[in-house]
Chain A
Amino acid sequence: MTGQSRSNLYLGLFCIAFACVLMFIWIPLDTKTGIVVKARGKYNIGDGLAPTVAAVFVLLGGLLMLLERNATEQSVIRKNQLKFVASLTLVIIAGFTIMRFAGPVAVELTKLFRAEPLEYRLLRATAGWKHIGFILGGTFMISGLIAVVERKLTRRAILTGIIAVLVLIAAFDLPFDDLLLPPNGDV
């Protein structure tokens, strides 16, 4: 990950540019009171000052990185690292998407075979129903992540996912009535 690279230079330039965007575009346009605000004839600290201080820290950091542009060991972001972290992120997003919609979809499917009306929102505190999303999404997420790291999907990965999800249900859901497993706070 290290070697003769110009990553310090690029990092420095990126931070300087980001700090300038912050100070001259984002903060002025996205705060109502600016750096100082005049109220009852007196100047007070506005909401823009603190983020501007943050931007100054980023700017100073960027300038120092320019001074360190010839440092002997410079870290580099490689393409395969970008791909790897993108894969992990996608698996997690997919896992939580399954988690979010599996319960309501299961209810809709059940409604096809039942006369009585059903609504997931009313069932989200009912054992079984409330666990569908977490079990399916959680198992998908864990086994998917293991598959990405091990470069193959194995039964061991799926089993690990199932066991981990069941342990989490036992830890968070069974002992506490007031805790909501994902996604039951949102549906």
Chain B
Amino acid sequence: MDVLAYIWLGIQAVFLGPEAFSILGIPVSITVMMVLCGFLFGIVVGATPGLAGPFAMAISLPILISIFGYSPDALLPVMGFLIGIMKGATIGGAVPAILFNTPGTPDAFMTTLDGFPMAQKGQAKKALRVAHFSSASGDTFSDIVLFVCAPFLAIIVEAYLDLPEKTGLLILSLSFIAAVIGGSAGKGLISIGLGLLAVYVGTGEDFYPRLSLGADGLSRGFPITTAVLGVLIIGAVFKELEEAWRNTQRTTPVQAPVESGDQNLHWADIKRLFPFIARSAFIGTAIGALPGVGSTLAATLGYTVGRARHQKIRAADAPRFGEGAPEGIAATEAANSAVSGANLIPVLSLGIPGNAAAVFLILAAESIGGFNPGPAVFRFSPDVVNPELVIAFGLFTCMTIANLFNWTIGGVFMRSMGFMINIPKTLLLPAVLLLTLTAIYVQETRIEAIWFALGFGVLGYFMRVLGISPLPFVIAFILGRSLEETARQAYSATGNDPFFLLNNPIALIFVLMSVAVILFAGRKPKGTAP
């Protein structure tokens, strides 16, 4: 089978899969509906300060798996829903940032700088339109790069990298993630080390489950959901609750600013904004393709580059960046949205999750089975159909559908979400906490899982307090077993050579790059993690 045949099969898997309902005899696929539901849910969550895409993914996953089961047929509806959330939350985050000067998601912080001044001038709806247009443009560009690059990268990895090199690549990825996430390589390494340690508890090849302290509860290891949801979600809820506890809570409902003047986005506006969008989309995509580098950095970089350009070409009467320039919103939103698609390049081509959304996609794939993100997915077998490749092209189709929803109904829906600011965090977050713990329990059905998740939650909280990003921990937890397994296989394949990493030129380069990236990042501490 050739490439086009696989692409066609992927599209068919989405559109001709199980039917949700039919309109005038035309069947509507359940996967398409799930992408739509996920997308709308993502906008709602993104527009709610204190929540973010990963929260929604975490609480949805067990419900989705309960609905669709563990068969390969469940992969596309479940992952389509998660992809919808990922995209919806990105544009939803701009709503409270523009209307109320409160970023709905961390990467929307830079949007407040120009969005809120525009809203104060009565241009709220126009600012939201600029944000939506820029976000959808950046996201679409990023997805196209993903569709093209992920298969090529995977093919190159499969063709040129053997087991020692793959081991070296995993070490390089972990080192890179430690170095770039947060502000300190030292804290990144600690986070990675703790994540690896946690995944190795209760596992191993010997009959005795290692590091289990002889305890029955630890002998089965920590379930992945307890570690991921504990550190990422429960830790974040604790931190948000602490902030709500320290701050005086708003008691009166917040009103959207009054609008005045023309709120439409005209062709002339688009022409003026386009260079800023294009530049930021490129920056966001390039940054997103690197595992671990988040959308917040992309937004900051896009904004900074946009501001430098704007200062040179700005008309005398046009507002500067920070004073309500639409170009500022465009530069930020295009950059942070362009990260989401590109972030899936390392997941799909290398099996290395680069951000929290990718972590949940891997979690979904692991829970359901039948799809293991990594270079082996893109094996274009001519004689026998590679079902994983069909799923991969199905996921690309889901992303395209989500983009279509984004372009068509996303703007209208996001502009109606301003009221979400009035939902008090103090009431919402405890409910999210019980929801998360319940979701863990229904998957694991043992109370130990709750205690593990709570323990990881406390760890995640203190990591945040100390400025240690929890994302390297989660990524290390996910990659830990693969690292050990690949190293064992490489050791055997090289005739029990203990120096297999050093005797293989490419593996050696990866190891040296790992050392270099840590030394380079460790040279200049940059303060606390965001």
Contact = CB atoms under 8 A, between A and B. Distances in A.
Interface of A: 1-2, 7-8, 11-12, 15, 19, 22, 26-27, 30-33, 42-51, 53-65, 67-68, 71-75, 77, 81, 84-85, 88-89, 92-93, 95-96, 100, 134, 138, 141-142, 145-146, 148-151, 156-157, 160-161, 164-165, 167-168, 171-172, 175-176, 178-183, 185-186
B196 interface: yes
A85 B461 contact: yes
B366 to A, nearest CB: 19
A67 B186 contact: yes
Contacts of A172: 62-63, 66, 438-439, 442
Q: Is the interface of B mostly helix, strand, loop or mixed?
A: helix
28 contacts: A12-B186, A27-B210, A31-B211, A42-B496, A44-B496, A49-B484, A51-B211, A59-B193, A62-B186, A64-B184, A64-B185, A64-B186, A64-B522, A67-B186, A68-B184, A75-B467, A84-B245, A85-B242, A85-B461, A92-B433, A92-B437, A141-B434, A146-B427, A156-B427, A165-B434, A172-B62, A179-B66, A186-B446
A54 B205 CA distance: 17
Nearest to B487: A45
Given A32-B208, A64-B184, A65-B187, A142 B193 contact: no
A150 B190 contact: no
A26 B194 CA distance: 14
B249 A61 contact: no
A183 B491 contact: no
B447 A183 contact: yes
A46 to B, nearest CB: 8
A42 to B, nearest CB: 6
A42 B184 CA distance: 41
B505 interface: no
A36 to B, nearest CB: 8
Given A46-B206, A145-B429, 5 more contacts: A53-B483, A67-B186, A172-B63, A182-B447, A186-B447
Contacts of B427: 146, 156-157, 160
A178 B213 CA distance: 33
Contacts of A157: 427
Contacts of B498: 43
A160 B424 CA distance: 11
B206 A47 contact: yes
B330 to A, nearest CB: 31
B190 A65 contact: yes
A88 to B, nearest CB: 6
Nearest to A47: B204
Contact of B242 (A71, A81, A142, A180): A81
A57 to B, nearest CB: 3
B386 interface: no
Interface residues of B, number: 75
A89 B433 CA distance: 12
A181 to B, nearest CB: 7
Nearest to A43: B496
Contacts of B200: 50-51, 54
Contact of A51 (B197, B205, B465, B466): B197
Interface string B473-488: 0001000100110011
B431 A142 contact: yes
Contacts of A84: 242, 245
B238 interface: yes
A73 to B, nearest CB: 4
A81 B242 CA distance: 8
Contacts of B382: none
Contacts of A138: 434, 438
Given A7-B466, A160-B427, A168-B434, A62 B442 contact: no
Given A22-B197, A92-B454, A145 B186 contact: no
A53 B174 CA distance: 12
Contacts of A32: 206-208, 210
